[in-house]
Homo-oligomer: A and B are copies of this chain.
Amino acid sequence: MYDIVTVGEILAEILTERTNQEFTSPGILLGPYPSGAPAIAIDQAAKMGASTAIIARVGRDDLGKLNIDRLASDGVDVSHIIQTSENTTGVAFVTYFSDGSRRFVYHFAKAACGELSPSDVDDAAVKNSRFLHIMGCSITGSPSLGASVMKALDAAVESGVKVSFDPNIRPELLSGGIMTYYRRILDACDVLLTGKGEMKHLFGDADGAVGKLLGEKDRIVVVKDGSRGTSVYTREEAFLAPTYPADEVDPTGAGDSFDGTFLALLCKGENLRTAADFGNAAGALAVAKRGPMEGNSSPSAIDAFRAKSGVAAVADIVNPYAG
């Protein structure tokens, strides 16, 4: 029995040492770092003490071992990770620019991560979980991985397993079959972990969408709005959890780390306000370290950070559902 299971990509990440350094000429690089949004989230949930597993494919190579070792040592059940000799572990080459943008080169769709197939998804593992966590990047990453995630969704819905969803949108990829997948997951999800910009992409109007989402189903809607804080809406309450000041070194992984923390604390029976506050703190800690999973943190580290920063005052806000 798991608290949280996820189905998605495991990647190795290579970073440039400097901002504005490009992959079009040789230089100093850093890595490989364990990565992949679902892997980062599930690793953080495990660090928070949740019982977790990830269903994924890696190559039978050092980059796969890098990820399996890290996930296992942080407490994730890695027995559902398939090591294949047919592909190499997926890789993301990432560089940041001083305007805040980033550029990726991905070995994804035809790497091990992208060739996870529906038959690799153990329905029993999904059905024996409290949450199935889905990230949009897994849906858009490859047709085979997308279909695998949808198989897990079906198993979850069939068994009443709660579904959490971080759309993680890349708007240019939201076409045709992908949008059908998104709609099915959005319909089913019990916890939506999204960004304000994403809400606009998905629904046009963010406030109206919250009311509509809560009208359709008794669920939790989390809207992250960067330094302006994280709003959480249910049928019963609505509040804003302010973010913590962050010493940003590497923004990748902050949202995933929030997701893992938030879901793990829900599983532990913590209230939503505590879960969101700890999620924000975990996100602030995540961006202070180079490497997408390097900034994942334990409950005690988050506690210490909150104490040092001054614990944020969570405040009630207007609930569009009530309105």
| Interface residues, chain A, with chain B CB atoms under 8 Å away | 12, 14, 17, 22-33, 59, 61-63, 65-66, 69, 87-89, 91, 93, 103, 105-108, 110-111, 291, 294
Contacts and interface: CB of A to CB of B under 8 A. Distances in A.
A73 to B, nearest CB: 11
B107 A111 contact: yes
A243 to B, nearest CB: 27
A87 B105 contact: no
Contacts of A62: 22-24, 93, 103, 105
Contacts of A24: 62, 65-66, 69
A30 B29 contact: yes
B26 A32 contact: yes
Given A24-B66, A26-B31, A89-B105, 19 more contacts: A23-B61, A23-B62, A23-B66, A25-B66, A26-B32, A26-B33, A27-B30, A28-B28, A28-B29, A28-B30, A29-B29, A29-B31, A59-B105, A62-B103, A63-B93, A88-B105, A88-B108, A107-B107, A110-B110
A260 B28 CA distance: 28
Contacts of A294: 26
Contacts of A59: 105
Closest A-B pairs by Cβ, 7 of them: A23-B62, A29-B29, A110-B110, A61-B105, A24-B65, A24-B66, A24-B62
B63 A23 contact: yes
A294 B291 CA distance: 28
Nearest to A34: B26
Contacts of A25: 66
A255 B230 CA distance: 58
A91 B107 contact: yes
B23 A291 contact: no
Contacts of A66: 23-26
A68 to B, nearest CB: 10
Contacts of A28: 17, 28-30
A33 B27 CA distance: 9
A14 B13 CA distance: 12
A67 to B, nearest CB: 9
A63 B105 contact: yes
A229 to B, nearest CB: 32
A107 B88 contact: yes
A26 B62 CA distance: 11
Contacts of A105: 59, 61-63, 88-89
Contacts of A291: 26
A93 B33 CA distance: 14
A141 to B, nearest CB: 13
Most buried by B among A61, A87, A108: A61
Nearest to A114: B110
